[in-house]
Amino acid sequence: MACVTIRDVKTFVTAPRGINLVIVKVETSAPGLVGYGCATFTWRAKAVVTAIEEYLKPLLIGKNAANIEDIWQTAMGGSYWRNGPVLNNALSGVDEALWDIKGKLANMPLYDLFGGKCREGIAVYRHADGGNFEEVDRAIQRYLDEGYRYIRVHMGTYGGNMDGKRNGEMHRPENCPSGAYYDPRAYMRSVVKLFEHVRGKFGWEIELMHDVHERLSLADTLSFAKDMEQFKLFFLEDSLPPDQVEYFKYLREQTGVPLAMGELFTHPLEWKQIVQNQWIDFIRVHLSDIGGLTPARKLASFCEAYGVRTAWHGPNDLSPIGAAAQMHLDLSAPNFGIQEFSGFDEREREVFPGCPEVRNGYAYVSDRPGIGVGFDEKAAAKYPFAEMDFGWLYARLKDGTAVRP
């Protein structure tokens, strides 16, 4: 077969449900052969587009599309400073598109290219939230009725802040700047009460999770994890920020709650120690934030050696292409644990034909060659770049101190 080279790289930003998704299209020298990848870093979408168009595209034109590893290594080192979220997401879009092309050339879905299925369906979990017990109950019941048996439970978004309005009157100083305020101790108490209620109402036949989202201090995290032991969580997520992973040693030694971590990881040194020491049970990285399928496959194998299972990040700011890409890993990785799923609406299905299907709590990817999800450029143009509300990112303690979201 003649060498298939990269002829062009195009970038699209589309927002079918008001969330900016960055899509990369790699065109090749073979007539009609293209690949699609997800490069969505929705909070800095314009920066990712610039990185692709101004830096990666000139590097890629004319290269052999089959040499995915070489392209990934060259692009990663080409900026000298590396492993930041902008470069990683930009590279992810290209990397996933190249794997899509490789699957199409082989006439195989990616899970077959990765070694074949380890399971027939992919267990997924949904996120149930609300401003009070009744709203949370309705969200949980809706997902149970749809067949889901893994549910992440929250009340009042991350940290229980409800924008400082529905979590009681906060004792705040004068002239506080705007932001998403929360009270860590009030949050801890409210979550324990919430899980007492949920277990009492829905029983023990469903698996429950909770995401701390880095909202607690080191000591409070340990205390909170111990309080949550009684509810037999499937996992407690992102208890601490990436720069404090060493503290997971103490969590592991003093609590039996299964721990998940990694949503904000962008560099191998952030996960190396925590996996090797078996301080966590689930790795939660966002595939595009670490550079795409190429590093994710290596990470999954690395985790397998230490008994850590995968639970890839799957928020609503992930395109159906990106969701399908990680589901191919879910099917083929022996150490798969669970997959976060945020659903697809009709507009997304219009823009991305071939979205994975979810039935009775399990996801199923297309058996078409490659990733199996297409991209309708005309439909995407109906949903242009959206000005998004970044308010929830500006988290503050009740005295006004800015903290990480």
Does the active-site annotation cover 213? yes
Q: What letters, b where the CB count within 10 A reaches 16 and e where it falls short, cover 164-200? A: beebeebeeeeeeeebbbbbbebbbebbeebbeebbe
Strand 6-14 and strand 21-28: the pairing is: antiparallel
Catalytic site residue 158?
Answer: yes
Residue 58: inside a domain, yes or no?
Answer: no
Within a domain: residue 178? Answer: yes
| DSSP structure class, residue 210 | E
- How wide is the angle at C-alpha 11 spanned by C-alphas 5 and 12, nearest 5°? 140
Domain with 298, as residue range(s), is: 112-368
The pLDDT value recorded for residue 80 is: 87
Model pLDDT, residue 140: 98
Overall domain count for the chain: 1
Task: Give me the CATH number covering residue 306.
Answer: 3.20.20.120
Pick the catalytic residue from 158, 181, 187, 383.
158
> Does residue 326 form part of some domain?
yes
- Whether 47 is in a domain gets the answer no
Give pLDDT, residue 162: 54
Pick from 128, 164, 169: nearest CA to 146: 128
Sheet holding 21-28, edge to edge: 6-14, 21-28, 34-38
Considering the domain boundaries, does residue 27 fall inside one? no
In whole angstroms, give the CA distance from residue 216 to residue 239: 7
Token duo for residue 279: 């301080």
User: Catalytic: which of 154, 210, 213, 286?
Assistant: 213
**Side chain identity at residue 205, one-letter code:** E
Query: What is the predicted pLDDT for the residue at 216?
Result: 93
pLDDT at 232: 98
pLDDT, one tens digit per residue, over 29-58 is 999 999 999 999 999 999 999 999 999 999
pTM, full prediction: 0.96
Residue 174 counted as domain residue: yes
Residue 4 inside a domain? The answer is: no
Positions of the chain with pLDDT under 50: 163-164, 166-167
Instruction: Report pLDDT for 167.
Output: 45
Among 266, 374, 290, 372, smallest CA distance to 95 is for: 290
89 located within any domain: no
Helical (H) or strand (E) element with 342:
none
